[in-house]
Amino acid sequence: MQSPLSPRTLLTRTLAAVALLLLVMVACSLVGTEPISLKAALIGPDQPASPNLDHEILLRVRVPRILLAAIVGAALAGAGVVFQAILRNPLADPYILGVSSGAGLGAMLAVISGIGWTVWGRSPIAIFAFVGALGTVWLVWTVGRITGRFHVTGLLLAGVVVNACFSAAIMFLTSIAKSQDVYATVFWLMGNMAEEDAFVLWASGGCVAAGLVSLFFVSAPLNAISFGQTDAQSMGIHVERVQFLALAVSSLITAVAVSLSGLIGFVGLIVPHAVRLVVGPDHRQLLPLSSILGAMFLVIADTIARRVIAPAQLPVGVITAMIGGPFFLMLLMRYNRKVCWLA
Amino acid sequence: MRNCIQLDHVTFAYRPERPVLMDVSLTVEAGTFLSVVGPNGAGKSTLISLLAGLIRPQAGTIAIDGCDVDSYARRELACKVAMVRQEHVPTFGFSVIETVLMARIPHFSPWGFERQADRRIVADALEMTDTARFASRPLAGLSGGERQRVFIARALAQDTPILLLDEPTSFLDLHHQVGIYDLLRSVQRNKHRTVVAITHDINLAAQYCDQALLLQPAPEPPATGQRSRPAEAQERYTVGSTQQVFRRDEIERVFAIQVFSARVGTENVFLPLGKMAKDAGLGGSRPDHRDRSKPIENT
């Protein structure tokens, strides 16, 4: 019998994808408003005679931002895979259980209240968004549990309703807020990258990486769960345990991503689909490859966002939807005959 | 006795005033092919769920291989009992072999990959169900009959002594119905599995099964305010060999229809006949069925 996915195949493909991601990151670090030369930058920091500008731009500006985009992209795409599997719904994305509106409401409250303090150098917007996102998922989870013994439909409905309520609250706050506050929040809601310091990158990158690795260990049971809870249970899988762990971890990394860069849409929806169209639905492969591809996708999108109307910058969320949409439709038409994922 | 199923005074109710299964006691010996028959709402699927450990009875005990179902860890129970649900298509486009391999997930290596033994068991299951030919095709591209064989293959790949099936042939044409029953019978005979299958096709069940369980739905609870009647002492199920259980008067009473039946070979065949049927006159011995004419609630 031919194994549908051997460890060797998975490792080869993952390593190839990582190599490609590194290549893309290096290439994107050379693109920007200011042309820089990699050779000059690699000479090292300031020479005695003159400061090495190329080095400064690369290390202080470009690299942190590219790393940030990679972290956020990986988190969103990985979480998207998990949400689609657990909710057994191809339309699910990391925001569906209320992360987006919860984070948005948190950000809005932070701006309006005019809080000035920071935690570990993070702005109040980021902190409020993080707390809002996780709090909302917790609320939706609790409501979903009350509606029945962990019912996927109940969870989805609770997510939709909570999203609608919180969106209304955001609109209410928008309509009574001062105009410069509104501008700050709207810009944040569109999804936006900024240069972050090393500590933030290490902490969030570590958190996302640990989350994705732990999700990989439930990816085989996720395959069975996407056939339904009863099926998975009768196959001897601890469905509730896997579901809780997967939802908690993917919500956490989504909240981290959202607190870093606002609501970047589309990555968590289309990257998993695009990867699934090409490599099939096995989550052991889908999860690592989607994360890497999500990172790559967001790095490219952010590079375009900071280049296209330079020296001004576009919110990256605009780019992800604008290039992601048509690209996805192309894939859909090309592969639709080969893989019919929806009967 | 190894790998037998024993139900001892099992009662299960979704609503307390109307138990679906009431005081059911029976033993299914290892290697038996048992068909579960009865009107909608009689508790057939409930029985299967109880045996699979998905729900717990309110009273009584269910023992598999001599131990209470509750006493098994989920993974242990999945090594005893495999289940095939009614036909369905998953959300994502898994291929046949990926689907069948999922039965081995609890036995995977810590990294989430199958071992050599898993591959062998899956290859056997594909072979036995004649699904190896289209092992790499996505499930959604298969016909209903082929898909049902895949889910049976997945249950076989769990490598359990007991196989539970919930209406395995309900959406299939005659050719595939017979194919599935031939397959189940050969699994039972050659692999010495115990097979419990829910079905609505009494004739096929009579031809293929050793034993039959005929379940009756619970009577409507008395309306509020009315004085409740004394509890019926009569048991709401019949179990035994197919010849014992599939009798015309039993079928007519439980399903509240008239049937024409005749002995063909070793088993009876049943032809259900409604009032408007062309040969309505052939069915039934009793002209008046008003006592059972209330429509049976569809659950």
Judged by CB atoms closer than 8 Å, whether chains meet at A233 and B92 is answered as: no
**Residue numbers of B between 15 and 74 with CB closer than 8 Å to A:** 52-54, 74
Could you tell me the residue range of the domain that residue B86 belongs to? 5-220+233-250
Residues of A in contact with B91 (CB under 8 A): 88-90, 226, 341-342
Q: How far apart are CA B85 and CA B45, in angstroms?
A: 9
pLDDT for B145 equals: 87
* Residue B135, pLDDT above cutoff 60: yes
Q: Residue B244 domain-assigned?
A: yes
Q: Residue B227 domain-assigned?
A: no
CA distance A321 to chain B (A): 24
What is the arithmetic mean of pLDDT over A244-273?
A: 91
Task: Put residue A88 in one of left, alpha, beta given phi > 0 → left and psi -120 to 50 → alpha.
Answer: left
What is the arithmetic mean of pLDDT over B144-164?
A: 92
Considering only CA atoms, which of B288, B287, B249 is closest in space to residue B270? Answer: B249
Q: Residue B270 domain-assigned?
A: no
Query: Spelled out in words, what is the top-level CATH class assigned to the domain A13-335?
Result: mainly alpha
* Residue B290, pLDDT above cutoff 80: no
Looking at per-residue pLDDT, the higher value among A43 and A249 belongs to A249
Whole-complex ipTM: 0.82
Which residue in B has a C-alpha nearest to residue A218's C-alpha? B112
Judged by CB atoms closer than 8 Å, whether chains meet at A284 and B112 is answered as: yes
pLDDT for B288 equals: 43
Look-up: residue for tokens 């990172």? Answer: A295
CA distance B101 to chain A (A): 9
Q: Does A7 touch chain B (CB under 8 A)?
A: yes
pLDDT for B177 equals: 92
Q: Residue B117 domain-assigned?
A: yes
Looking at per-residue pLDDT, the higher value among B163 and A335 belongs to B163
Q: How many domains in chain B?
A: 1
pLDDT (tens digit, 9 = 90+) per residue, B59-104? 999 999 989 999 999 999 999 999 998 767 677 889 999 999 999 9
Write the residue in A3, A227, A236 that is nearest to B74 by C-beta. Answer: A236
Judged by CB atoms closer than 8 Å, whether chains meet at A233 and B75 is answered as: no
Are the CB atoms for B149 and B183 separated by under 8 Å?
Answer: yes
* Residue B298, pLDDT above cutoff 70: no
pLDDT for B61 equals: 93
Q: Range with the lowest mean pLDDT among A122-131, B196-205, B228-237?
A: B228-237
Q: Distance from first CA to last CA of chain B, Å, rounded?
A: 35
Judged by CB atoms closer than 8 Å, whether chains meet at B158 and A236 is answered as: yes
CATH number, residue B79: 3.40.50.300
CA A293 to chain centre: 11
Looking at per-residue pLDDT, the higher value among A220 and A327 belongs to A220
CA distance A196 to chain B (A): 35
What is the arithmetic mean of pLDDT over A90-113?
A: 87
Q: Does A96 touch chain B (CB under 8 A)?
A: no
Mean pLDDT of chain B: 86
Q: Does A341 touch chain B (CB under 8 A)?
A: yes
Write the residue in A5, A236, A340 that is nearest to B106 by C-beta. Answer: A236
CB pairs under 8 A between A and B: 120
Considering only CA atoms, which of A90, A16, A80, A26 is closest in space to residue A290? Answer: A80
Judged by CB atoms closer than 8 Å, whether chains meet at A340 and B141 is answered as: yes
Are the CB atoms for A190 and A318 separated by under 8 Å?
Answer: yes
Write the residue in A4, A236, A343 that is nearest to B98 by C-beta. Answer: A4
DSSP 3-state assignment of A343?
Answer: coil
pLDDT > 90 in chain B, percent: 58
* Residue B125, pLDDT above cutoff 90: yes
Q: Residue B37 domain-assigned?
A: yes
CA distance B78 to chain A (A): 5
Q: Does A149 touch chain B (CB under 8 A)?
A: no
Q: Residue B274 domain-assigned?
A: no
* Residue A331, pLDDT above cutoff 70: yes
CA distances from B182 to A43, B83, B129, B176, B200 (A): 76, 18, 10, 10, 17
